[in-house]
């Protein structure tokens, strides 16, 4: 899932209904606006032109080299230059997104790619993703599946811009540390005192072999693999410790032999005879 925001793009990789990888890329729709502004215009004008003319992908045969896009009543910009600037930044964002997909899941994304966020409204964005990722199954989530009751019409616009906050609100009754909470979050007794404690809400923490360093819950196969790797690591450490102990014992035995009385006497006699022989010569 790719959330194309203004300042950032969030990539979430799921496999077998488990979140396997999550990354936030510091690139978004605002970067496209800034690139357009580099064509000698204010950012407000650049944002307006992005919304009106920008496309994530344009066939080369459809580009009119003579066409000029109006910035305002007095200024214009070349259509080809505008297209090149937009597509260059879109390509960079998509390449960074695809780089975040772990190699073991690249060919196993059976659900394809789901786009959301304000950036997903860019024309031909799905085509651009297909061209650069070679994934055919690409969809855009324009709105969440829950009914939203609000007098604010901006919250109900189906353009993906509010999906993140609306989804968080829709799932706000879920307690990730324990069982699902009811609407009565703070259970109170007849005297109005809260009876729910953190002990009631939070269950036993997951063990280290159940989660990865990033907190992702492992599958049974991944747990077994982690346990096997841990067992091999401990065996390796034990063998290294035994080898170190053997070397230390050999060193101590050698020192004891060298420092023994008999050894010193033999060494002294050897030196005495060598001295006598040298004198006779």
Distance CA 234, CA 230 (A): 6
pLDDT of residue 255: 79
So what's the pLDDT on residue 9? 96
User: C-alpha angle with apex 93: 87 to 98, nearest 5 degrees?
Assistant: 120
Mean pLDDT calculated for residue range 101-114: 92
The answer for 134, left when phi > 0, alpha when psi is -120 to 50, beta otherwise, is left
> What percent of the chain lies above the pLDDT cut of 70?
76
Nearest Cα to Cα of residue 2 among 83, 103, 87, 95: 95
Angle of CA points 203, 219, 141, to nearest 5°: 90
pLDDT at 199: 46
What is the rounded distance in angstroms from the CA atom of residue 162 to the CA atom of residue 155?
A: 6
More confident residue, 184 or 118: 118
Q: What are the tens digits of pLDDT across the range 203-216?
A: 454 454 554 554 45
Reply yes or no on whether the pLDDT at 259 is more than 80: no
The C-alpha angle with vertex 261 and arms to 259 and 266, in degrees rounded to 5, equals: 95
Whether the pLDDT of residue 249 is over 60: the answer is yes
3-class SS at 232? helix
Beta-carbon contacts of 126 under 8 Å, excluding residues fewer than 6 positions away, are: 115, 138, 139, 140
Is residue 74 predicted with pLDDT exceeding 60? yes
Distance, first Cα to last Cα, the chain: 94
The arithmetic mean of pLDDT across residues 35-64, rounded, is: 95
């Amino acid at each position: 899932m790719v959330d194309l925001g203004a300042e950032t793009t969030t990539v979430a990789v799921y496999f077998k209904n488990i979140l396997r990888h999550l990354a936030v890329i510091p690139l978004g729709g605002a970067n496209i606006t800034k690139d357009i502004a580099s064509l000698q215009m204010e950012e407000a004008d650049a944002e307006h032109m992005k919304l009106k003319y920008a496309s994530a992908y344009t066939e080369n045969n459809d580009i009119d080299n003579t066409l000029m896009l109006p910035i305002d009543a007095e200024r214009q910009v070349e259509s080809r230059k505008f297209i090149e600037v937009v597509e260059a930044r879109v390509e960079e964002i998509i390449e960074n997104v695809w780089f975040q997909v772990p190699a073991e899941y690249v060919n196993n994304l059976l659900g394809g790619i789901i786009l959301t966020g304000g950036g997903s409204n860019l024309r031909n964005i799905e085509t651009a993703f297909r061209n650069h990722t070679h994934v055919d199954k690409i969809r855009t989530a324009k709105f969440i599946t829950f009914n939203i009751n609000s007098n604010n019409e901006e919250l109900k616009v189906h353009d993906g811009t509010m999906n993140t906050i609306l989804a968080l609100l829709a799932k706000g009754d879920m307690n990730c540390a324990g069982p699902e909470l009811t609407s009565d979050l703070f259970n109170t007794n007849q005297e109005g005192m809260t009876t729910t404690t953190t002990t009631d809400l939070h269950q036993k923490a997951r063990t280290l072999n159940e989660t990865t360093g990033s907190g992702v819950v492992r599958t049974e196969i991944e747990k077994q693999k982690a346990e096997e790797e841990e067992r091999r690591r401990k065996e390796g450490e034990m063998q290294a410790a035994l080898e170190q102990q053997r070397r230390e014992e050999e060193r101590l035995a050698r020192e004891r032999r060298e420092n023994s009385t008999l050894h010193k006497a033999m060494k002294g006699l050897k030196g005495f005879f060598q001295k006598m022989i040298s004198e006779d010569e």
